[in-house]
A and B are shown apart, each in its own frame.
Chain A
Amino acid sequence: MEKVEHVLIVDDDRDIRELIGAYLQKNGARVSKASGGREMWAVLATEPPDIIVLDITLPGENGLALCRELRAGQWRTIPILMLTALSDETDRVVGLEVGADDYLIKPFAVRELLARIRAILRRARMVPQGFERSEAPPFLLFGDWKLDTVGRHLIDCEGTMVALSGAEYRLLRVFVDHPQRVLTRDQLLSLTQGRQTEPFDRSIDLLVSRLRQRLNDGAKDPRYIKTLRNEGYVFSAAVTPQEGNQ
């Protein structure tokens, strides 16, 4: 990690807490631990962390409820990584809905956890100073498209779902989160490289052309992703967030 980050681990299993803590400390992080909501609020009150690693299944108030409360209160800018013990679509979807930045399914490799924490913190630093970090809306509208940030797919103007691969989604998400801004290939690479276990061999250029194909966006006169010679790419469409299910 670039500088000493403060990570708060909230998990009811003491061994998991200690083990993750030891590993993160070995890799240069400062670690606080909490076994549940009460201890979590106590840590937040004394020294707010840079990121919270939050288990979904906690005794008493569960992780989803805590995440919702965090997002509604004064700690809404702190990134949250959810840990879910259920390998099921719905739980992770709910986790993202209540405002978690990412999720990790148990059991996971600690190196993967570290990579995710780093990716989230990198993204958080990209947010311009003075901008209130808002809760991710379920839908982002641009041009003819609607991006479902929970289901991680596109919806066209006729309501047809267009699936995206994991890498395509991450790249598009970086674009729509930073519209009208020049993004260099290096920036795009570091922002999209979330998982260490998923080697990202393809160049950003190839991924952009795949994404353009999904968006029916021509390379010659692109509507959405414009190429800036020797600089990188710009997402040129206006993005409007949309709440609710429609």
Chain B
Amino acid sequence: MNVSSLLKGPRTLFLRVTLIFFAGLVAAQYLTFYATMAERNEVQTTFMISNIQREIASAVALLDRVPAAERPDWVPRLARRNYGFILGPGVGGEAPDQKLSAEIGTAIEQSIGQRYPVVVNAVPGAGEHLQAHLKLSDGAPLTIDIRPVAKMPLSTWLPLVLGVQFVLLAVCSWIAVSLATRPLNRLAHAAETLGPDMTATRLRETGPTEVVRAAKAFNAMQDRIRMYMKERIQILAAISHDLQTPITRMRIRTDLLDDEAERARFQQDLLEMESLVREGVAYGRTLHGTAEAPRRIDPDALLESLVSDYEDAGANVMLSGGIGVPIVTRPVALRRILANLLDNAIKFSGAGELAAEVSEDRRIAISVIDRGPGIPADQLDAVFQPFFRLDTSREHGRSGNGLGLAIAKQLALAMNATLELKNREGGGLEARLVLEKPF
């Protein structure tokens, strides 16, 4: 992870929301804790000062009454956790500068200052330490030595409780956020699987109302898309299908024509119409979903028989390489893809070559290569669209209906293969079909 991505923060919505949620809860928790502690300290200080005030007044009064000889016995008994008495002048110093010391000083002056003149000063050193100096009624000096303790010690179980709270917050934010983001993931998955075969997974219409609403809307959208696609294909298939009978009639009529040249021209036109109709019907069927079940086949026999069929029909087709192991695939679809690619190669270059190979990561690549004009680089993807035609093929009057590649692409998608086109070095086109782990 580099600096800029660190600055941008985590990529997933899940992490982002979790972080915000958790940070917010921790901050709120800290504020509460801080406020409670401040309140506690204030109460404690007030309580301590009023205690000191009362106790010191009675202790000083007691020491004043006791004969000077007995005072040393009393001093330890009158000492408390945060103050004690010294029979003597004590240590001098500056006036107390700390807030708490000053408050204590003032409190002592208020309680006994009217009877005894009191001087309060801070004692230099570590921690808060102050002394109040006064003279008892017999003139003996008395020093009150005070070490105010500002805070009561925290209980040992408190950090543990805080830790448990943090964990609780983290777990709760994780659960809440994953609850909120899971439907999003499901939605994304459903959208991704809405493939060309129109067999998307439907979202479950359960859960919180917002999720149910989104799921319903998404399912309805899927239905609409499926309906539009189906309609489009049905129209294409219906037109193609209904054209077959009139074309058949015309075909037979032309066969019966006496004019040789005229007959050849008619038949050429009819052949073009015929192939368009055939491809139209085939395209409609490929999109309707592939009913063909995958099965174990000998791929080399398939390639060799395909090449033989072309050779028998007088076409110039070659085969190089081989696969050597049986694979599991859809043979009719595979044959159709390769035949469409070979037809194109023959159409544009007069010849085609099939090249098969197995790569190390158990992929099988079957390429159809030619030395034809190739395809401009910016149109390599566009030629897969139905009825797309290159300008060059129009100019040269080459017949083609632009469905062959579309059908090949659809079938490849349906059988989990990839089909890509690229121009070859030295001219020509390579159509590469890659089957992932078919054995």
Binding site for B on A (CB under 8 A): 13, 15-16, 19-20, 22-23, 85-90, 106-111, 153-154, 156, 158-168, 198-202, 210, 214
Contact = CB atoms under 8 A, between A and B. Distances in A.
B312 A167 contact: yes
Given A110-B251, A110-B256, A159-B295, 12 more contacts: A15-B249, A16-B245, A85-B245, A107-B244, A109-B267, A158-B326, A159-B296, A163-B298, A165-B308, A166-B312, A167-B308, A210-B308
A160 B297 contact: yes
Contact of B312 (A86, A108, A153, A200): A200
Contacts of A198: 312-313
Given A23-B255, A163-B302, A202 B335 contact: no
Contact of B295 (A16, A106, A161): A161
A19 B296 contact: no
A86 B281 contact: yes
Given A86-B241, A88-B281, A16 B249 contact: yes
Given A106-B244, A166-B312, A160 B282 contact: no
A62 to B, nearest CB: 15
A111 B254 CA distance: 11
B278 A87 contact: yes
A156 B298 CA distance: 10
B332 interface: yes
B244 A161 contact: no
Given A85-B244, A163-B298, A110 B252 contact: yes
B368 to A, nearest CB: 17
Nearest to B302: A163
B274 interface: yes
A105 B256 CA distance: 19
A85 B241 contact: yes
Nearest to B245: A13
B177 to A, nearest CB: 51
Contacts of A109: 251, 255, 267
Contacts of B346: none
B305 interface: yes
A165 B249 contact: no
B285 interface: yes
Interface of B: 241, 244-245, 247-253, 255-256, 267, 270, 274, 277-278, 281-282, 285, 291, 295-298, 301-302, 304-306, 308-309, 312-314, 326, 331-332, 335
Contacts of B251: 107-110
Contacts of B253: 19
B212 to A, nearest CB: 41
B95 to A, nearest CB: 105
Contact of A108 (B248, B250, B313, B314): B248
Nearest to B292: A89
A86 B238 CA distance: 11
Given A158-B296, A160-B326, A199-B314, A20 B252 contact: yes
10 contacts: A13-B249, A19-B252, A85-B245, A87-B282, A90-B291, A160-B298, A161-B296, A164-B305, A199-B313, A210-B308
Nearest to A197: B313
Main secondary structure on chain B at its contact with chain A?
helix
A89 B245 CA distance: 19
Given A86-B241, A165-B312, A160 B296 contact: yes
A19 B309 contact: no
Among B247, B251, B267, chain A packs the most CB atoms within 10 A around the CB of B251
A209 to B, nearest CB: 12
A86 B297 CA distance: 27
Among A22, A106, A158, A202, chain B packs the most CB atoms within 10 A around the CB of A106
Contact of A161 (B267, B278, B331): B331
Among A90, A106, A163, A214, chain B packs the most CB atoms within 10 A around the CB of A163
B305 A163 contact: yes
Among A88, A106, A107, A202, chain B packs the most CB atoms within 10 A around the CB of A107
A163 B248 CA distance: 31
Contacts of B252: 16, 19-20, 23, 110
Nearest to A14: B249
B285 to A, nearest CB: 6
B281 A19 contact: no
A162 B245 contact: no
Nearest to B309: A165
B335 A106 contact: no
Contacts of A110: 251-252, 255-256
Among A86, A154, A202, chain B packs the most CB atoms within 10 A around the CB of A86
A88 B288 CA distance: 13
B185 to A, nearest CB: 39
A12 to B, nearest CB: 9
B298 A161 contact: yes
A107 B241 CA distance: 11
B312 A22 contact: no
Among A108, A164, A165, A201, chain B packs the most CB atoms within 10 A around the CB of A165
B312 A87 contact: no
Nearest to B299: A163
A154 B295 CA distance: 13
Contact of B297 (A107, A111, A163): A163
Nearest to A83: B248
A86 to B, nearest CB: 7
B332 A106 contact: no
A159 B296 CA distance: 7
Ranked 7 nearest A-B pairs via Cβ: A165-B308, A165-B305, A107-B248, A19-B252, A163-B302, A161-B297, A107-B251
A114 B174 CA distance: 77
Contact of A87 (B281, B304, B331): B281
Given A23-B255, A200-B312, A88 B305 contact: no
A22 B249 CA distance: 13
Contacts of A156: 298
